[in-house]
Amino acid sequence: MKIRPIHQDDIPAILDLMELGAPYVRARTSSDYWLYANLFSTTCLVADYNGQLLGAIIAFRSQDHPENLYIQDVITDPDHRRQGISTALLQAVRDAGRRFGCQRLYLTSEPDNSAAHGTWTNMGFINVPGDHIVNGVEIISDYKGAGKHRAVYELRLHNTAVN
């Protein structure tokens, strides 16, 4: 398996892969994936095995707070889960964040996504304190806008920037 940047030719396969993540991961438009492939390919990656996409991670370094790298989506093909694919994708993004000098990798999750909570805490992410708790998970109300409550997770990075 090779972890590599998203290519424009991957867009149809990425759309199909993201559809498998419903209801928590939603496919964006093909124009969005074009943008990721052409402007954010350092942190928008796929796990490729002989031309088959087994997983993808979509992440962005903040322009307003360049010390932060935000993970938008992570997906592994259901037929290939529990094989270390998401871990490998996350490690590649973590390495990119360190090269950029980022201090924090973070993401959000829907309050009822207990599988995501287990995954992120097992990978070393900390559930950021919120204003209420759902099933033992800290939730921040209206984090992504009115009515869009989210669990927020962060992983502190050791600064090993390469200039």
Query: Mean pLDDT across the stretch 8-34?
Result: 90
Task: Please give the structure tokens belonging to residue 153.
Answer: 């997770």
What pTM does this model have?
0.90
* Res. 163 pLDDT band, cuts 50 70 90: very low
Helix axes 11-19, 30-39, angle to 10 degrees: 120
Tell me, what's the pLDDT at 5?
Answer: 97
Tell me, what's the pLDDT at 159?
Answer: 56
Instruction: Count H helices and E strands in the chain, helices first.
Output: 4, 9
Average pLDDT score over the chain: 92
User: 139 near 131, Cβ under 8 Å?
Assistant: yes
For the CA atoms of 37, 49, 83, 135, the dihedral, rounded to the nearest 10 degrees, stands at: 30
